[in-house]
Structure 1
């Protein structure tokens, strides 16, 4: 029976390593999906990002910036997935969501009926996790299926 695995990606090297390890651990009879969640209040974290003032001529960045950031993020994530797919010889279907990553990851897992959620860990200690809130901790607690945190 084919397994359906949802891998949360954020563009970091940690999420790339988590995807590659997942594919190594589940190499056959697996349907791979990746979810990238753009949190509207987050600053874009890709190399050579367009500064807000450059995209809008120094005016209020909100009107046109969202589209520019979303397109650049999408291109960046697609390149990351292509690198993983090329190195591992598999297909990964990308799903892009907008909102709170914690809720969106759990939500898409429920919608898709996945067998496993994989998420990378940034290695926050317990104090940081309490203060900042952790996406991986939330997913572990609220996931409708088993979740694997890859460090």
Structure 2
């Protein structure tokens, strides 16, 4: 590497931070709706920053979860080799059972609100 990097103004950084927070809030709201009617299931919302593979494993261990449920993008072998697989990494590294849920083909994987 030649040491070249990217410099962003404080305005750009603030915009990126707001966007990141908005996306996180959207995901939290959708998760709350999906879990609203679950009985006898403890749901805890945690937002962390970092590599998703590492953060999910660390939080699962810290919270001592009974089961980790993850979605899968359904990437093929080639994409998974280049992009990595969060769900596969977590399945190999957490101490609790892991359920990997594949995207349904019938509706394109969108959860109904």
Does the pair score TM above 0.5?
Answer: yes
* 2:94 equivalent in structure 1: 143
- Rounded Cα–Cα distance in structure 2 between residues aligned with 1:61 and 1:141: 40
CA 1:61–1:136 in structure 2 vs 1: closer, same or farther (change >3 Å)?
farther
CA–CA distance in structure 2, aligned partners of residues 142 and 115 of structure 1: 14
Match of 2:111 in 1: none
**Partner Cα distance (2:101, 2:63) in 1:** 21
What do residues 13-34 of structure 1 show as CA deviations (whole Å, max 9, x unaligned)?
Answer: xxxxxxxxxxxxxxxxxxxxxx
TM-score after normalising by structure 2: 0.69
* CA gap 1:102/1:81 in 2 versus in 1, 3 angstroms: same
Cα distance between partner residues in 1 of 2:54 and 2:15: 24
* Residue 19 of structure 1: aligned partner: none
Bigger Rg over Cα:
2
**What are structure 1's unaligned runs of at least 5 residues?**
1-58
Cα separation, partners in 2 of 1:61 and 1:127, compared to 1, 3 Å? farther
Q: What's the TM-score once normalised by structure 1's chain length? A: 0.53
Q: By percentage of residues, which structure has more strand?
A: 1
Query: Which of 1 and 2 has higher RCO (CA within 8 Å, sep 6+)?
Result: 1
For structure 2, the 5+ residue unaligned runs are 1-8, 103-113
Residue 74 of structure 1 deviates from its aligned partner by 3.1
Matched, 1:85 2:85: no
How many residues align structurally?
93
Task: Please report the RMSD computed on the Cα atoms of aligned residues, expressed in angstroms.
Answer: 2.2
Tell me the residue number matched to 2:81: 130
